[in-house]
Chain A
Amino acid sequence: MKELLLNPIVKMVLVGIWETLYMTVVSTFYAYIIGLPVGTILVLTADGGLYPMKALNSLLNFAINFIRSVPFLILLVAVIPFTRKVAGTTLGYKPTVVPLVIASAPFISRVVESSLNEVDKGMVEAAESMGASIMQIVMKVLLPESLPSLVTGASIAMTTILGYSALAGFTGGGGLGDIATRYGYYRRRNDIMSATVILLVLIVQIFQQVGFKLAFSRDKRK
């Protein structure tokens, strides 16, 4: 066992797992800090929403559609100057968080928007009839009532971000994707390639299972 852990390749793969998890979790966290409010604002400012603002709504929609139209690999390269400014370098797993957040925040905004739109309009109307402010409706009705859907959305977002993080391996981004690129692709080490594939599949499965279970156990509608 001890020998196995000292094996340089095993050690490298373990570090890869850690880096992949780090990139995924940290990026998801920051992407939600942007995506949760943006998604909420999209719902509130929409036509027929609680606070219709056509200009802001159109602007956000345009920005989201614009970023989402750019393939991640191209976005990754395109934002290199910005990444360097924020993180000081572009190599390694930590700076990869920057393009990951840029790419996934618009996606998460959409996921949040669709979760909030699922909330029965009648509940919102009931809250309005009680004299609730918009902030109270967001905090006490929209977000809590859509929680199961938001959790499901988060687990889907996480697996998407994990997929993006693997792509970042091509530009030296660290993590399992980086190992697959360097060993599996450039050096034709099929054994290492297979190991990274299996590990990525496993991580995705764990994220999804935990997410769905959590969402289901939170849901009081059943």
Chain B
Amino acid sequence: MPSEIFRLQDVTKIFDSPEGKISALKDITFSIGKNDIFGVIGRSGAGKSTLVRCLNFLEKPTSGTVFFEEVDLSSLSRKQLLVARRKMGMIFQQFNLLMQKTVEKNVLFPLEISKVPQNQAKARARELLEIVGLEDKLHAYPSQLSGGQKQRVAIARALANSPDVLLCDEATSALDPATTTSILSLLKSINETLGVTIVIVTHEMGIVERYCNKMAIVDDGFLAESGDVVEVFKSPKTIAAKKLIYAQQDDSLETGALLGDGMVRVIFDGNSSYEPIIAGAVLHCNCLVNIMHAETRDIDGKAFGHMLLQLPSQGHKAVEVIRYIESKGLKVEAI
């Protein structure tokens, strides 16, 4: 069985607009593995929503290829594409439930599309609403539900045809923090119990950090970085990734307020963050350093973090401190 569910090869999407051509995606290449919880992150307008729509061909790439379970989607006839889409559920920021239909009818809708016999479909709808915890809302209309409940109905609906993957386009952006957590936990348990691959498109780094195992960062239509969440968080390579991972905590960096002489960023990984390295550096070099900002976090049971240090103004002392810290296996970056 192949381990990849999606493979994108040089996917480019250009929109025609009155102001000219707009490149929403530029030469995107990456894969999404089976059973992953895959985060696609980027700032608004970066192209991440377009990217997820290229996965189920709601948007056809201008060039490049999207493989879904080893099949080139552009090679399918329209009919075959419609059948392929039944293997991909999708949920949205605005839920997009049918407002004139009950919860039950909403969940029955995809089953009607795939022509499942009615009594079988009804049983399936009940089963799905139990999974999302809304079996008592069968006959309610969407307007009578809260945002979180609406998204649960949308999840039940998206799972109706037993898809292999669930695409979530900013699915929690319209929800409050507590509801966001409950929806994401539900998605995680669906991933674990039903083996459904989950693709989460979001602008919130915290969501990717907590729930995803793989990620891709989209910046201005380009794929900035992709890989294991732990790896990307530990050592982001591109400016876009660093901005997303660090800048949300220290916005002041962007304004330049902290950018004095001799500012460096020290990056910790799980192994050495319990050693008193900064104190060691102070004693070893016999000079003071100023801790401007520090943050460590727990990712997959290991501690990762970074710290902003202001080093002594004398150049040789600063170099000494940097050498000492690097000798302890940490990374130091000038900023």
Contacts and interface: CB of A to CB of B under 8 A. Distances in A.
Interface SS, B side: mixed
B234 interface: no
B224 to A, nearest CB: 26
A69 interface: no
B116 to A, nearest CB: 12
B84 A129 contact: no
Contact of B101 (A128, A132, A144, A148): A144
Nearest to B110: A130
A132 to B, nearest CB: 5
B282 interface: no
Nearest to B102: A220
B96 A130 contact: no
B109 A220 contact: no
B98 interface: yes
A128 B86 CA distance: 10
A115 B322 CA distance: 68
B96 A122 contact: yes
Nearest to B85: A131
B255 interface: no
B58 A129 contact: yes
B310 interface: no
Interface string A82-102: 000000000000000000000
Interface string B89-107: 1101010111111000000
Contacts of B114: 131
Interface in A134-161: 136, 140-141, 144-145, 147-148
Interface residues of B, number: 32
A205 interface: no
Contact of B56 (A129, A140, A145, A219): A129
B109 A144 contact: no
A144 B113 contact: no
Contacts of A144: 98, 100-101
Interface in A102-136: 120, 122-123, 125-133, 136
A106 B113 CA distance: 32
Contacts of B112: 136, 140
A122 B100 contact: no
B141 interface: yes
A2 interface: no
Given A129-B85, A131-B84, A221-B143, A145 B100 contact: yes
B12 interface: no
Q: Which of B113, B154, B161 has the most CB of A within 10 A?
A: B113
A222 interface: yes
Contacts of B82: 131-133
A220 B99 contact: yes
Interface residues of A, number: 24
A130 to B, nearest CB: 4
Contact of B99 (A125, A127, A128, A221): A221
A139 to B, nearest CB: 10
B99 A129 contact: no
A125 B113 contact: no
B109 A130 contact: yes
Contacts of A131: 81-86, 110, 113-114, 161
Contacts of A129: 56, 58, 85, 88-90, 158, 167
Interface in B255-310: none
B143 A220 contact: yes
A145 B88 contact: no
A48 B197 CA distance: 31
Contacts of B88: 129
14 contacts: A120-B94, A122-B92, A123-B98, A127-B109, A128-B58, A129-B58, A129-B89, A130-B89, A130-B113, A131-B83, A131-B86, A219-B100, A220-B99, A220-B100
Interface of B: 56, 58, 81-86, 88-90, 92, 94, 96-101, 109-110, 112-114, 141-143, 154, 157-158, 161, 167
Lowest 5 A-B CB distances belong to which pairs?
Answer: A131-B85, A129-B90, A122-B96, A126-B96, A131-B82
Given A128-B58, A141-B98, 8 more contacts: A120-B94, A129-B88, A129-B90, A136-B112, A136-B113, A145-B98, A147-B100, A218-B100
